[in-house]
Copies of this chain bind each other. A is one copy, B any other.
Amino acid sequence: MTTQRKEAKRERILDAAVLEIARRGYYGTTVSTIARRAGVADGTIYLYFKSKEDLLVSIFERAMQRFNFEAAGIVEADGVGAEEKLRRFVALHLSLLGEDRDLAVIFQVEFRHTLHILERLSRSRMRDYLALIARVLEQGTEEGVFKRDLDALLAAKMVFGILDEMATDWVLSKKNTRLASRSAPVTDLLLGGLRTS
């Protein structure tokens, strides 16, 4: 079997897992259910993933890879000011999650208690993500547009906290709003708080 076909099947299983886990929660989803939705036998799951938990980790890894990749693109852009980068970052975070509600549910709800189990693993990816935000803030400080005495990492966590809460709130609200529509007010508050007075 070609690597490509294997990869495709792996993706199909991950997609099925995202869908089911988003709807029923990690503990409420059986491996059988995921297999059925993916159109494979139960045992096949274990040819591609070590365990049910590994499936969850893999969902996280796949998503974070994309997140970090896209975020890095923004942070490393040449000739772009920190304010604009922050604006783009906020927009990216909210639209990536806003585009895929199932994934968002998993990120905002299922991964939380899983952090318990996966602490190290997930935290290391998260650290990367936070570091990207922090770099934007540092750039801002260097440019003189953000406060001089800013603790970049701590502030990055606050930025993340806001984005995270926006996402959670959107996930749990039944209303049919677009998550990305919150970009502007979020950016406003953030820039207000970060700018030199």
- Chain A interfacial positions (CB closer than 8 Å to B): 25-28, 108-110, 112-117, 119, 123, 147, 151, 154-155, 157-158, 160-166, 168-169, 172, 182, 185-186, 188-195, 197
Contact = CB atoms under 8 A, between A and B. Distances in A.
Copies of this chain present in the complex amount to: 4
A178 to B, nearest CB: 14
B115 A189 contact: no
Interface of chain A, helix or strand or loop or mixed?
A: helix
A158 B109 CA distance: 18
Nearest to A191: B193
Nearest to A22: B116
Given A113-B113, A162-B165, A190-B193, 20 more contacts: A27-B27, A109-B115, A109-B116, A112-B113, A113-B114, A123-B172, A147-B192, A151-B185, A154-B182, A155-B185, A157-B165, A157-B169, A158-B165, A158-B166, A158-B186, A161-B162, A161-B168, A189-B194, A191-B193, A193-B194
